Amino acid sequence: MDIEVLEGIFDANEKIARENEALFRERGVMAMNLMASPGAGKTSLIAATLQLLKEKLEVGVIEGDIASSVDAEKLKAYDIPVVQINTGGACHLDAIMIQQALAHMDLAAIDLLIIENVGNLVCPAEFKLGEALRAMILSVAEGHDKPLKYPLMFSDSDVLVVNKTDLIGLGDFDMAELREVVTRMNPDIVIFEVSCRTGEGLGAWADWLEQRVRDFKES
Ligand SMILES: Nc1nc2c(ncn2[C@@H]2O[C@H](COP(=O)(O)OP(=O)(O)OP(=O)(O)O)[C@@H](O)[C@H]2O)c(=O)[nH]1
Ligand SMILES: [Mg+2]
């Protein structure tokens, strides 16, 4: 019985996710679901990406948090459409929350929609939102063993951004080991090494993302 209920939830989410996906496609919006642990640097990466792409693309952001509008406030300076979703306790965003948030956005004016998921390395990977690109961040401070412990997000993401490279050397983080394990689990994943603090690696990330948006709009 429990299993039936759970499958019902996932089926309902899949259905709405497909509707969101069709809407994004129709309006020419490339949606990116950005997932990571609390504090890995999601909002920092969004801010840095806006800085680099704001003259090239129209970007909108959906901020997902259990509570507060702290992250949405941080992006106010960029003068772009930002909608904050408070899940009220849920550890992930779902497709219905996104569908409701989209009613508050002018999709015709957006090329790239960045969705900051709730900080969590587990649950967000289970719920598709209708995104064209699944992105995740692992920060150096979390350790290189995380793909083995939380495999779904690593095996199901299109791109991994390793953030806080400025902290390498302060602990035992092993980038070669991380790359080896992640590419064994997910041979197609694209990996960037960045520091939102120093700016290292962010240009390559932004160039790649811009190209993905252009490819999406032409496809
Ligand atoms: N040293 C260092 N700190 C960073 C870097 N990127 C972000 N931080 C810091 O890490 C902390 C968390 O960053 P956020 O961008 O708020 O992380 P988040 O993933 O959005 O966090 P939640 O939304 O709470 O899950 C902040 O204090 C940032 O200043 C980095 O590259 N290096
Ligand atoms: Mg954040």
Instruction: Specify the number of domains making up the chain.
Output: 1
In which element (H, E) is residue 33 found? strand 30-35
- CATH number assigned to the domain comprising residue 171: 3.40.50.300
Does the CB atom of residue 144 touch ligand 1 within 6 A?
no
Question: What is the distance in A from the centroid of ligand 2 to the CA of 39?
Answer: 7
User: With 80 as the cut, is the pLDDT of residue 39 above it?
Assistant: yes
Average pLDDT of the segment spanning 79-90:
95
- Residues with Cβ within 8 Å of 11's Cβ and at least 6 positions away in sequence, in order, are none
Does the CB atom of residue 64 touch ligand 1 within 6 A?
no
User: With 90 as the cut, is the pLDDT of residue 155 above it?
Assistant: yes
User: With 70 as the cut, is the pLDDT of residue 122 above it?
Assistant: yes
Q: Hey, what are 180's tokens? A: 């080896």
User: With 70 as the cut, is the pLDDT of residue 23 above it?
Assistant: yes
Please tell me the chain's helix, strand, coil percentages from 3-state DSSP, rounded to the nearest 5: 50, 20, 35
pTM of the model: 0.96
The percent of residues above 70 in pLDDT, for the chain, comes to 96
Range of the domain at 135: 2-218
Average pLDDT of the segment spanning 17-32:
98
Does the CB atom of residue 39 touch ligand 1 within 6 A?
yes
Q: Using an 8 Å Cβ cutoff, are 121 and 146 in contact?
A: yes
Which of ligand 1's atoms lies nearest the C-alpha of 118? 25
Average pLDDT of the segment spanning 75-91:
95
User: With 80 as the cut, is the pLDDT of residue 10 above it?
Assistant: no
Does the CB atom of residue 171 touch ligand 1 within 6 A?
no
The residue whose C-alpha atom lies closest to atom 14 belonging to ligand 1 is: 41
Which of ligand 1's atoms lies nearest the C-alpha of 74? 16
